[in-house]
C-alpha cells in the first residue's frame, strides 16, 4: 500500500536516481545496481548486482548476481524480500549481510567476502530539469525501464577473499550504474570501460536501445565520455545523432552533435550469462562480456582530441539488435 512516507521517498528518489525507487511497488517492478570492481593488476574483474524483483505473477524475491569476468561464470543468490532493506534518505542497500552504497561495499558471499571503500567518485552531473543520465525522460511516469549512473570512474580501497584467496583491490578501479522499471528493452547494445592508458581519467558508457513510447517506439541513445575532469554527453534528449553496425563480433557505434564526435569500435570476447527482468520477474537472460576491448576516438570538430583502447570492457548485445542498426546519421 502506498502511504505518505512512500510518496516522500519516491519524490526524493526522483531527484536522486542512485536511490531506491520501488517504495510501495507490489508487482511488475524490478530494481538493480551494477557494481564493477577490478583489482589493480586487472587479474580479477567482477560485476556484483544486488536488486529486487516483484513479478507480475506475484512472485517476489531479492537477489545478488555475481559475474566473474575472467572466468566467464555467473552466480545468482536468492534472498527473501524482507532481507532487502533500502534507505529512504540516501543510496544505501542492505541485503542478507551484504551492504551496497556509493561509498562502500560489504560482501558476504560464497565467492566474494570482504569490505571495500569507494573513493574519488565521479558522479553523473545533475542539471536543471535533468537529475540524472536520462535527462527530462526521468520525469516520464510510464517508461518501461529507467537508467542511472552512480559513478563513471572511481578508486577502490580494501581487500576481498575471492573463492577463499585474499586479493588486494586497493588502487583498483570501479564503476556503478543501475536500472529500474518493468522490463529491459526488446533490444540494446551497451558498452562500458574505464581502463585506458592515459595521463588523465578516461571512462566510457554507451547505450542504444529500443524504447517503447505511447503505443509506438523509438531508438534512443545515452552516452557519457569522461575525459579528464569533464563528462561529454551524447543522448536522444540532447539532439545527438548516432550510427550503429555489427559485423561478426565487432560492434561499431558513432555519435555526434554540433561540437563533438565519438567513434567506438568494440570487439566481443568471452562472456557469462546474467538473469534479466521481464515484467518484474527475473526470467530473461543476457550474455555479458567483461573481456571486450574498445577502440575510442573523440573529436572536437575535425580535431582528434583523444584516441585509445579500453580494456576489461563490459559489452552486451541483446535482443533483436537489427532494429538498432543504421549506416546513416539518425537522431
CA dist 50 → 15, 210, 227, 230, 288 (Å): 21, 25, 29, 29, 16
Q: What is the mean pLDDT of residues 40-57?
A: 97
Average pLDDT over residues 212-239: 94
**Taking 70 as the threshold, does the pLDDT of residue 2 lie above it?**
no
- pLDDT tens digits along 56-69: 998 999 999 999 99
The region, left, alpha or beta by phi > 0 then psi within -120 to 50, assigned to residue 210 is: beta
CA-angle at 285, arms to 282 and 287, nearest 5°:
140
pTM comes to: 0.97
Is residue 292 very low, low, confident or very high in pLDDT (cuts 50, 70, 90)? very high
CA 174 – CA 23 distance, rounded (Å): 28
128 CB contacts (<8 Å, ≥6 apart)? none
Q: What is the signed CA dihedral for 11, 16, 22, 28, rounded to 10 degrees?
A: 110
Tally of CB atoms within 10 A around 191: 24
Q: In the structure, what pLDDT confidence band is assigned to residue 1 with cuts at 50, 70 and 90? A: low
Helix then strand then coil, in percent of the chain rounded to 5, is 10, 60, 30
Total of domains in the chain: 1
**Structural domain boundaries, residue 29:** 4-330
Distance CA 92, CA 103 (A): 9
Residue 287 parent element (H or E): strand 281-300
Per the prediction, the chain carries an average pLDDT of 96
Q: What angle do CA 266, 269, 274 make, to 5 degrees?
A: 105
For 127-182, the pLDDT digits (tens) are 888 999 999 999 999 899 999 999 999 999 999 999 999 999 999 999 999 999 99
Amino acid at each position: 500500500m502506498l502511504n505518505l512516507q512512500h510518496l516522500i521517498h519516491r519524490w526524493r528518489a526522483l531527484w536522486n536516481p542512485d536511490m531506491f525507487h520501488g517504495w510501495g511497488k507490489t508487482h511488475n517492478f524490478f530494481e538493480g545496481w551494477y557494481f564493477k570492481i577490478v583489482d589493480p593488476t586487472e587479474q580479477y574483474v567482477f560485476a556484483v548486482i544486488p536488486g529486487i524483483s516483484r513479478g507480475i505473477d506475484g512472485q517476489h524475491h531479492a537477489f545478488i548476481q555475481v559475474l566473474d569476468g575472467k572466468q566467464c561464470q555467473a552466480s545468482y543468490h536468492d534472498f527473501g524480500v524482507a532481507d532487502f532493506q533500502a534507505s529512504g534518505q540516501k543510496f544505501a542497500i542492505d541485503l542478507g549481510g551484504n551492504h551496497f552504497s556509493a561509498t562502500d561495499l560489504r560482501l558476504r558471499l560464497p565467492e566474494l567476502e570482504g569490505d571495500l571503500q569507494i573513493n574519488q567518485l565521479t558522479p553523473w552531473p545533475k542539471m536543471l530539469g535533468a537529475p540524472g543520465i536520462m535527462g527530462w525522460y526521468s520525469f516520464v511516469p510510464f517508461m518501461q525501464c529507467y537508467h542511472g549512473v552512480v559513478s563513471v570512474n572511481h578508486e577502490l580501497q580494501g581487500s576481498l577473499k575471492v573463492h577463499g584467496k585474499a586479493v588486494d583491490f586497493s588502487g583498483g578501479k570501479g564503476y556503478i550504474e543501475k536500472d529500474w522499471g518493468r522490463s529491459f528493452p526488446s533490444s540494446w547494445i551497451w558498452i562500458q570501460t574505464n581502463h585506458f592508458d592515459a595521463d588523465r581519467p578516461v571512462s566510457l558508457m554507451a547505450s542504444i536501445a529500443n524504447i517503447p513510447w505511447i503505443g509506438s517506439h523509438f531508438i534512443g541513445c545515452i552516452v557519457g565520455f569522461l575525459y579528464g575532469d569533464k563528462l561529454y554527453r551524447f543522448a536522444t534528449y540532447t539532439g545527438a545523432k548516432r550510427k550503429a553496425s555489427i559485423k561478426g563480433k565487432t560492434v561499431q557505434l558513432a555519435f555526434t552533435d554540433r561540437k563533438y564526435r565519438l567513434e567506438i569500435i568494440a570487439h566481443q570476447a568471452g562472456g557469462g550469462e546474467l538473469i534479466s527482468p521481464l515484467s518484474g520477474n527475473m526470467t530473461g537472460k543476457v550474455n555479458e562480456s567483461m573481456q571486450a576491448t574498445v577502440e575510442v576516438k573523440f573529436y572536437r570538430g575535425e580535431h582528434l582530441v583523444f584516441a585509445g583502447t579500453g580494456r576489461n570492457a563490459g559489452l552486451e548485445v541483446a535482443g533483436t539488435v537489427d532494429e538498432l542498426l543504421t549506416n546513416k546519421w539518425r537522431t
